[in-house]
Structure 1
């Protein structure tokens, strides 16, 4: 993997905003004193008159974004996932979700891969929180190409949206010349017959690596990239599950309330044997991101173990 291009999706977010601003002047970007980390500093440098810093006051950030959205502009509110989904949840629910305003929440530094910042900043609960808000779209891009496409789709789609980005640089596997992004539509990256692996975010690349190893062991794995957790592509999930007869979900998020639970809900009326891979109802810890992902089984080896346990 040394020769594979790697980009953190938070970087993709900052670059996509600048690219989009060259085409449209009806949106603004807001941050909470984290522009360097969230990468919105790129937008601030290029379009200072359209950038607003709310300071270390995430509830105010969301309220300000909501107010701007009522004027007809699109507002991208940016901060760490822990603060966007956690600290500001009530404001997001009541001031953005309830009136169904055109605010896009750019939540960076999500999951265990935040690394050395530790448990207080490793938000593994945000997908679950945002899924509960009526009308909130939840998107978890898997690489640079997908993240940039998701930002554009967010601008073009009316209503509140939660965009989840990571700190860790991850492999770019989508081709920008051919990739097509559609909200609410999963993507079959590899067809298989023995098991379906449904993944999001950085776990998509891990799922592809796992599928390669499983193929060497005689197991045919179908890999689905679910970039939109809500609304979930239930039709695709059901079709693949009934085709292979087994499902493993993989996410850099708590096993409670995230992708795994969304998939199980979709399969409730016609279930198949399913295992959820994620953070097992524990807090994270400080350490190098890659080492933490391995320790918490959030890698190809972890997916392989879940698949083999299910097959057994």
Structure 2
């Protein structure tokens, strides 16, 4: 494997209390797209910051090509691209100027940087806006500039933290397609709490909750793990609140004066309920709402 996370833990102090952001997390990652799913506060961003060598773990190790990234951070940094959740730009600069500035920070050869920037602007459909100020860019265009700066050094590990927040559906679709194209020769870790953003592109999924890794596997494996727990039931609108109190309701659709409700439950919720095909969102809701940390070392390979 390229990236080996071993019993990783991270604690921080808040109001004189010690809190755990990550608790003994182990994960092995190969080239391809790993979708890191979890609700807000699950510890995803803390994990991303450690993997990007911005923060240090309290205990445990992260190995990149067999080397500890805390002891030898430059080994990873030379091959790292990082797009944080809150990506800031110098809005007075043009896209072209901003990428040259980042290339300088990364100590890239000027001639090679020129060629790479031109290629990235073309690949990301930003050539037309290359010399316009970033303050005039849309949210999707700024995210594409964020990806461009992360790709300047042709990284073998690309870390992307909650990149689709604020993007419209078309921009999100374009972003997912771009990641698919980039994943052939590199590890991409895509952190999000939006299941739809990773279910069609991820090779593997890792689900976090309260700082712990609770499930890991391919999208199809996770879906099949809840295959006998997904039900459809038609009810009156007045019954929905009670169902939500008793079961996980993943979706509901109005049909005339009734509601067709998708339920995730360990047993049949009603004699009239029928089994249905599970989705990745069903699995995500099942494991995060009924979270029971797994005792195995999860392998995303």
**Could you tell me the TM-score, scaled by structure 2's length?**
0.33
Q: Which has the higher strand share?
A: 2
**Could you tell me the TM-score, scaled by structure 1's length?**
0.32
Q: Which has the higher helix share?
A: 1
Q: Which has the higher contact order (CA 8 A, sep 6+)?
A: 2
Q: Which has the larger radius of gyration?
A: 2
